[in-house]
Amino acid sequence: MSARPRIVVLGGGFGGLESLFYLKQQLGDRADLTLVTNKPYFLFKPNTIYIPFGEPPEKYEVDLKSPLNKQGIRLLEATVHQIDRDSKTVETTAGRVEYDHLVVATGARMCIDEIPGMAAHAITVWTPDDMLTLRDRITRIIENARHREHSRILFLVPPNNRCSGPLYEMVCMLDTHLRRHHARDHVTLTFATKEGAFIEAFGPRLNSVVAEEFAERHITGHIDHVVTEILPQSVRFQNSSELPYDLLISFPPYAAASHFSGLPTDDRGFVTVDPSSRRVAGSDSVYAVGDTADFPIKQAFLALLQGDAAGDHIAAEILGRNPDVDFVPTSMCVMEQFDKAVFAQVPLKYTGDSSHPVEVNVTDSDHYKVGVSPLWRVGKTALGYYLPWRFGSGKPFHAGLPWKVMELGLKIMSQTMAE
Ligand SMILES: Cc1cc2nc3c(=O)[nH]c(=O)nc-3n(C[C@H](O)[C@H](O)[C@H](O)COP(=O)(O)OP(=O)(O)OC[C@H]3O[C@@H](n4cnc5c(N)ncnc54)[C@H](O)[C@@H]3O)c2cc1C
């Protein structure tokens, strides 16, 4: 090991930046920190849902050069090809990088070709460019509605999608948007999911909220609809049903964004880790956090918690103390609908069953909280400013006085506006 331990983080998203800035805050100049990432900016993916409704994509990009420079963290803009755990090196398009501690946070990718017909016929919601394409299609549908032309829009959650929440947000946002443009009477909205309940990962209370919203908004919802094939104007399902569409919007199946042959993974390339520390199985110096690791639900909030845990375990080792932070899986989100928002705080627990590794801890009523109110939009807006501000200053999300203030605000809101 060199005089100052070399910590290398791969991937400048939620998990990577949270662990990087957490480590900086804990270790100061006691370690050499490097971020290797293939984009010089952080993309605030959760808020790209606003792009189809008119917001500019650049609004959700946070430049990384200036905060890293300010914090004395080296930025290597490169793509990582390989990790060699024996020699403790990473091969990148900009050369070899040596590490003493490594955090892998390279996220997920979309497997659009896994569903026959998806690439040819669906608009997907993954990149800002996808969202701009969707904006064009929505504009056209509103235009058609002015000429009293009817359109059928179908939202589709296929097998192996690991983050269905944004599609539920977007169908409700679209309903409000179409009503505001006097186009709703000319559009049929349908939602079909492979899940056994609406937004299944968040448990029965969210299912009820979504079912009520769908009924109120005249959105037809179908659960247990496993897509088999997408045709030019209809979707076929395993249960022999078929749903028609003029516009199909889907969030494709997930797999790990990059496969590193030196790391143990499951069948979709997600890196196998110890649940609490996020340490990679069979390794004492490599950690994996966020969408690329094997936690079955892929969410920004969970990536941040995992980034904190990995950062703390590395810092503890360097400082010769016991770790203070483990990954305790509690999901939190605020789902936009434009006229109101849904808040959900969802405690999760491990089942020990590999076919169904995680479920909602429904008996933990102190932590399982759900609320629906126009005021929750304030919470969504606050998070939308807070997170880019923290990362743009080179600071972790979950730390310091600003987080305490944010946490207190969320606590007060969840005590008064959620149950
Ligand atoms: C439309 C949409 C809405 C969402 N809404 C929400 C929400 O409301 N709440 C929520 O909690 N979550 C939401 N999510 C999910 C959330 O965005 C992800 O869970 C989160 O981004 C995961 O963070 P990450 O750090 O693991 O990966 P990412 O944020 O994807 O970051 C990975 C980084 O690694 C880089 N990278 C990848 N491969 C390599 C390589 N080989 N070499 C170098 N760099 C590499 C990528 O360019 C990227 O910068 C949403 C996602 C989408 C798409």
**Model pLDDT for residues 2-25, shown as the tens digit of each residue:** 589 999 999 999 999 999 999 999
User: Ligand 1 centroid to 257 CA: how many Å?
Assistant: 10
Ligand 1 near 280 CB (within 6 A): no
Query: Do 277 and 343 belong together in one domain?
Result: yes
Query: Do 148 and 97 belong together in one domain?
Result: no
Residue partners of 356: CB distance under 8 A and separation at least 6 = none
Angle at 309 between CA 303 and CA 315, to 5 degrees: 130
pLDDT of residue 194: 98
| Cα 21 to Cα 13: distance, rounded to the nearest angstrom | 12
pLDDT of residue 414: 79
Residue 255 and residue 108 in contact, taking contact as beta carbons nearer than 8 Å: yes
Residue 85 and residue 286 in contact, taking contact as beta carbons nearer than 8 Å: yes
pLDDT of residue 2: 53
User: Ligand 1 centroid to 400 CA: how many Å?
Assistant: 24
User: Ligand 1 centroid to 146 CA: how many Å?
Assistant: 37
- Tokens representing 59 are 């609004």
**Which of 195, 228, 253 is a domain's end point?**
253
Q: Is residue 317 part of a domain?
A: yes
pLDDT of residue 33: 98
Residues of the chain with pLDDT under 50: 1
| Cα 277 to Cα 21: distance, rounded to the nearest angstrom | 17
pLDDT of residue 365: 86
Indicate the pairing of strand 32-37 with strand 6-10.
Answer: parallel
Query: Do 221 and 336 belong together in one domain?
Result: no
Nearest residue to 290 (alpha-carbon basis) of 74, 45, 91, 73: 45
| Cα 391 to Cα 381: distance, rounded to the nearest angstrom | 16
Query: Do 385 and 281 belong together in one domain?
Result: yes
Residue 307 and residue 22 in contact, taking contact as beta carbons nearer than 8 Å: yes
Q: Is residue 400 part of a domain?
A: yes
**Which of 209, 233, 253 is a domain's end point?**
253
Query: Do 360 and 243 belong together in one domain?
Result: no
| Cα 134 to Cα 122: distance, rounded to the nearest angstrom | 10
- Tokens representing 144 are 């058609």
Looking at the CA of residue 49, tell me the nearest atom of ligand 1: 1
Nearest protein CA to atom 26 of ligand 1, as residue:
290
Ligand 1 near 107 CB (within 6 A): yes
> The domain that contains 102 carries what CATH number?
3.50.50.100
Ligand 1 near 265 CB (within 6 A): no
User: Ligand 1 centroid to 13 CA: how many Å?
Assistant: 6
Ligand 1 near 45 CB (within 6 A): yes
- Where residue 367 falls (left for φ over 0; alpha for ψ -120 to 50; beta otherwise) is alpha
Nearest protein CA to atom 38 of ligand 1, as residue:
106
Ligand 1 near 109 CB (within 6 A): no
**Residue from 35, 41, 45 to probe ligand 1 pocket by mutation (most atoms less than 8 Å from CB):** 45
Query: Do 217 and 261 belong together in one domain?
Result: no
Q: Is residue 231 part of a domain?
A: yes
Q: Is residue 1 part of a domain?
A: no
Query: Do 228 and 316 belong together in one domain?
Result: no
Nearest protein CA to atom 3 of ligand 1, as residue:
46
- Tokens representing 386 are 């807070």
pLDDT in tens, 241-287: 999 999 999 999 999 999 998 899 999 999 999 999 999 999 999 99
Burial of 92 (0-12, 13-18, 19+ CB in 10 A): buried
- Tokens representing 234 are 């209809």
Query: Do 246 and 283 belong together in one domain?
Result: no
Domain count along the chain: 2
| Cα 71 to Cα 66: distance, rounded to the nearest angstrom | 9
Residue 73 and residue 20 in contact, taking contact as beta carbons nearer than 8 Å: yes
**Which of 219, 253, 287 is a domain's end point?**
253
DSSP annotation of 99: -
Query: Do 240 and 262 belong together in one domain?
Result: no
Domain containing 119 equals 112-253
> The domain that contains 216 carries what CATH number?
3.50.50.60
Query: Do 93 and 125 belong together in one domain?
Result: no
Query: Do 269 and 374 belong together in one domain?
Result: yes
Ligand 1 near 16 CB (within 6 A): yes
Nearest protein CA to atom 21 of ligand 1, as residue:
300
Ligand 1 near 38 CB (within 6 A): yes
Query: Do 267 and 350 belong together in one domain?
Result: yes
